[in-house]
Structure 1
Amino acid sequence: MKNSIKLLAIFGLIAVSLFSFIPKGSDTTLEEEAVKMVVLESYINGAFNELDAEAMENGFHKDFAIYSAKGEEISKYPIADWVAGVKKRKANGYDPADEKNIWKHNFASVDVTGGAAQVKVELTNQGKHVFTDYLSLLKFESGWKIVAKVYHRH
């Protein structure tokens, strides 16, 4: 009986030691990875590298828009127009292997709080930093969706 208690105590200590290696906030880390995956599949690959309109439609909310300053006004480019442009470009002989069509990315920051997220992503093309994009995401019952973008063109 004493050996059984000692054995249980040893296993208990081992379990506590193993769980101490799990990073604190691992739920946040999992959500950050889920957000990055949506951005990678729908935005980086969908809108840029692969011109995959279906991936865009899956990862962007139907009310998504790109917002930019135009004088003192806000210009709004809706997702439906962007998807139509992607489909047209792909139909017109888009070559994903062409160097000018290869976009590299860097996740400069990913910030998740509950069901809201903000991603800062830097896009380079042919070795030049072209865009710094700020993507806002919300978590819906169906998962994370990109809902808005503002950006800086370098």
Structure 2
Amino acid sequence: MKSTTRITLMVVIAAIVSFSFIKSEEHIAEMEAVKKVVYDSYINGAFNELNAEAMEKGFHKDFSIFTPKGEEISKYPIADWIAGVKKKKANGYDQNDKKNIWDHNFANIDITGKAAQVKVELKNQGNHVYTDYLSLLKFDSGWKIVAKVYHKHEK
């Protein structure tokens, strides 16, 4: 192989490796941004801290929880959920009570462009209670949770 061919090949390989590194850094940054929204707005906002302000920041205004009811779909909109969180907190919610502490595990995070899907496992007092699937979209203002479907585990 001629030395110019070797040099060209080395430059091409270096460019591919550099591009892959940049893409993976961008992907890691997006994964961290998605995790932060889910952690702040969902895990702490909706569960551990009952922080309605954090929920309003991280959930899209058109968000709903979708639940099957026979062959129909029941929708629980974010406005109703936030109202319930505010009411529960106003009625003496004790953040240190063990029954109000939810452990979580990010089982999977999948991002393609401006769409993401997060699988979160929620445990309460050592029991696996929910497996949640959160859909997110990236808007000009950042990532927002737009929908949830879930499975409630039997004890």
Fold agreement, TM-score > 0.5: yes
Deviation at 1:26, TM superposition (A): 1.7
Unpaired runs of at least 5, structure 1:
1-15
2:91 is aligned with 1:92: yes
1:69 aligns with: 68
Aligned to 1:10: none
Percent identity between the aligned chains? 74
The Cα shift of 1:39 comes to 0.0
RMSD of aligned alpha carbons: 1.6
Per the normalisation by structure 2, the TM-score is 0.85
Equivalent residues in 2 for 1:10-25 (5 A)? 22=21, 25=24
1:118 matched residue in structure 2? 117
Amino acid aligned to 1:113: T
Q: Which structure 2 residue ranges, 5 or more long, are not aligned?
A: 1-13
The aligned length equals 137
Number of the residue aligned with 1:138: 137
| Aligned partner of residue 45 in structure 1, secondary structure | helix
Cα distance in 2 between the residues matched to 1:24 and 1:119: 20
Cα offset for 1:81?
0.2
One-letter amino acid matched to 1:49: N
Q: How far is 1:23 from its partner?
A: 7.5
Runs of 4+ in 1 over 4 A off after TM superposition: none
Q: Distance in 2 between matches of 1:93 and 1:72?
A: 38
Once residues 76 and 131 of structure 1 are traced to their aligned partners in structure 2, the CA distance between those partners, rounded to angstroms, is: 18
* Structure 1 residue 24, shift from structure 2 partner: 5.5
Aligned to 1:39: 38
